[in-house]
Amino acid sequence: MDRAEFISLMNSKIKLIRTEYDLTQEKMAEAIGLSKKTLVEIEKGRNSLSWSAAVTAAVIFSDSTILSDAFGGETSDLVKVIALQGLDAKLPDKTMGGRIWWQDIKETKGYRIQQNIISRHFRILDAEDRRFFSTFDKKEAESKLKELTAGARK
pLDDT digits (tens, 9 = 90+) for 87-126: 666 655 666 666 778 889 998 888 999 998 888 888 888 8
Who's near 148: CB < 8 A, 6+ residues apart?
111, 124, 132, 133
- DSSP code of 87? S
CATH code of domain 3-71: 1.10.260.40
pLDDT at residue 113 in the model: 92
Burial (0-12, 13-18, 19+ Cβ within 10 Å), 48: middle
Does the predicted TM-score (pTM) go above 0.75?
no
Ranked by mean pLDDT, which of 16-25, 67-76, 102-111 comes out on top?
16-25
Angle at 20 between CA 14 and CA 119, to 5 degrees: 55
Domain ranges across the chain: 3-71, 93-149
